[in-house]
Amino acid sequence: MAKRHRGDRRDGTLIRDLDPLHFFTGIIYPNRCDNEAYISERIDLTPVNAYLAQKNEGEDFPYTMFHLIVTAVVKTITLRPKLNRFIVNGNFYQRNEVSAAFVVKKRFNDESEEGLAFLHLKGEDTVDTIHEELRKIITDCRKEGSHDDTSESMDLISKLPRGLCKAFVHFVMFLDRHGRVPQSFVASDPYYASVVLSNVGSIRLKSGYHHLTNWGTCSLFCLVGERAHRPFFDADGGFEMKDTVDLGLTIDERLADGYYYAKSVRLLKTLLEHPELLEKPLAEEVEY
């Protein structure tokens, strides 16, 4: 584990060699929610479908489009490290790990509870190790009586007298701004992950914009929409109907310039257009 220096946080290392533009940007524009940029990308699922058909032969817990998208997103973050930064109190930090969080709906009905899934990734992880981890997490989340520590903590705090509850929340928000929230409070909090993913397509919603939050440190949100057949046009005006999915990416624009983000999105699309690349370790470079 790397040695911590003055100014570092438990979850991130203070970036000390920022250029002047970014140094002042973090001070002038202090709130994450005021600095959102939204990017919408349409993905042709033809190669994904072919890959899944081959990958799922004899598989008892099938690989899904969502598994591949999760892997592609975290590989992109691993190879494009500025996506794994966050800003708190005007300071830029490089997160100490790549992580991903998403909500698991336990049952598809109005009364069903939700569980929180949290992935901690390493450079040697691949689509296969991530698939196996997702199997464990999703199976555990959907067990009867399962729960997560964050939901339990919020339930306990909400039962306090209203004034005391508000005072406690404001105190925790103060700790959040200084990186001092107890790890037990945020261990499964999705807004402390590198990226939050939401598979709204699974409940038949289209992809769209989702806000970031000033709470926590998450600087990237990925919304996965409903898959559908849509036209792809060629240079002559002709078109072909293809199976597609739309991704909605909300990012903190203070972390990098437009060129860096455009190149990162190009990498993400390349990984989904060539899903066999996801079998390589997250930290292994690919051409794009």
Enumerate residues 6+ apart whose C-beta is below 8 A from 13. Answer: 2, 4, 5, 93, 94, 96
Mean pLDDT across 3-10: 86
Residues 192 and 86 in one domain: yes
Residues 226 and 183 in one domain: no
| Residue 178 within any structural domain of the chain | yes
In this structure, of 19-28, 41-50, 260-269, the range with the lowest mean pLDDT score is 19-28
**Structural domains counted in the chain:** 2
Of 198, 241, 214, give the one whose Cα is nearest residue 66: 198
If pLDDT is split at 50, 70 and 90, which confidence band does 212 have? very high
- Cα 206–207–209 angle (5° rounding)? 130
| Full domain range(s) for residue 209 | 30-145+188-279
Of 187, 207, 238, the one marking the end of a domain is 187
Residues 203 and 128 in one domain: yes
- Cα 165–168–169 angle (5° rounding)? 85
| Residue 101 within any structural domain of the chain | yes
Mean pLDDT across 142-168: 71
Mean pLDDT across 224-230: 94
Of 187, 213, 239, the one marking the end of a domain is 187
If pLDDT is split at 50, 70 and 90, which confidence band does 113 have? low
Output the six-digit token pair for 162: 């209203």
- What CATH number does the domain containing 73 carry? 3.30.559.10
Q: How far is CA 13 from CA 3, 6, 88, in A?
A: 10, 10, 12
| Residue 17 within any structural domain of the chain | no
Q: What is the reported pLDDT for 282? A: 98
Give the Cβ contact number of residue 122 at 10 Å.
12
Q: Which residue has the tokens 């997702």?
A: 134
pTM score of the predicted model:
0.89
